[in-house]
Amino acid sequence: MNRIVERFTKLKRDNKKAFVVYIGAGDPDLEATRQLALEFDKAGVDVLELGVPFSDPLADGLVNQLAAQRGLESGTTPPKLLETVTAIRKQSQIPIVFYVYFNIIHRVGMEQFIVDCAKAGVDGLLVLDLPPEESDNYEAQMAKAGLCNIYLVAPTTPEARMEKIVKRAAGFIYYISREGVTGMQSSVASNLESQIAKIRAHTSLPIAVGFGVSNPEQAKAVAKEADGCVVGSAIVNQIAANGKSPELVSKLGAFVKAMADAVKSI
């Protein structure tokens, strides 16, 4: 069974919520990415999203844009990132998703990229700029390789289109809680409960909510409504602040564990 599906199945059985973490791959370097993945697994992270560095990350706010830039500057490429995933797999079975822009996949070749991801131990792809309407061949290749094609639903997505999107997804639905790009927010969206109910009317897949969750209190509030909570920019910001510190991994582990514990306390 796919690791993402397996993890969400176990969480549902245990009546627990998922804690999903996003970091930019190769920030500050790929060895740090490997170590952070192992530390996050110990800290209670259920799914790790790795942002594949790209020069024009349109869905991302400044914090994650700068992480992508640092990843590119550290020499991170798709093949080197796949080697890092292979290294992670020697010590951990944490579910891994690549958060990626389609240009990168197109440059490698879609079928080859998907096959390479599956071979390395990647469990799913979240392709930011590939609409489901143009994804027939992509979805077929993903299913063939046993990977989850994760789709985004936004607050502005019309319900008729939302229904089409969620029926084509696998693994979980990523609900963007706010309009705009990624980034830390001071509060959780007020219409979260009603929006999640709308999505749940059309799918039995788990719903994870992200874009803006910044601290344990917000993570807990989101997890109460959804099946999982995604935290990215707040963690990436900590990596930016501590990237050159020898204590990077331990500091980030403690920061992430506080949020994981909040999510698991529900």
Sheet of 151-153, strand order: 148-149, 124-127, 96-100, 47-51, 18-24, 228-231, 207-210, 173-176, 151-153
Q: From residue 17, give the alpha-carbon distance in Å to each of 12, 48, 124, 179, 198.
A: 7, 15, 19, 24, 19
Helix (H) or strand (E) holding 176: strand 173-176
The token pair at 224 is 């109460």
Higher pLDDT, 214 or 90: 90
Answer whether residue 181 shows pLDDT above 60: no
Does 182 have pLDDT greater than 80? no
- What amino acid positions are annotated as catalytic residues? 49, 60
**pTM for this prediction:** 0.96
Using pLDDT thresholds of 50, 70 and 90, give the confidence band for residue 58: confident
The predicted structure's pLDDT at residue 211: 84
- Given pLDDT bands bounded at 50, 70 and 90, which one contains residue 87? very high
**Predicted confidence band at 191 (pLDDT cuts at 50, 70, 90)?**
confident
Q: Which domains does the chain have, with CATH numbers?
A: 3-264 (3.20.20.70)
Task: Tell me the three state secondary structure of residue 231.
Answer: strand
Rounded Cα distance, 167 and 108, in Å: 28
pLDDT for 186: 54
Amino acid in the structure at residue 170: A
Q: Looking at the DSSP assignment, which residues form a beta bridge with residue 143?
A: none
Q: Give me the chain's average pLDDT, please.
A: 95
Provide, rounded to the nearest whole percent, the portion of the chain with pLDDT above 70: 95
Concatenate the DSSP letters of all residues of 123-153 into one string.
-EEEETT--GGG-HHHHHHHHHHT-EE-EEE
Residue 177 pLDDT class (50, 70, 90 cuts): confident
- Residues making up the chain, counted from first to last: 266
pLDDT band, residue 208 (cuts 50/70/90)? very high
- Which two structure tokens, joined as six digits, stand for 231? 């935290």
pLDDT 10s digits, 226-250: 999 999 999 999 999 999 999 999 9
Q: Band of the pLDDT at 59, cuts 50, 70, 90?
A: confident
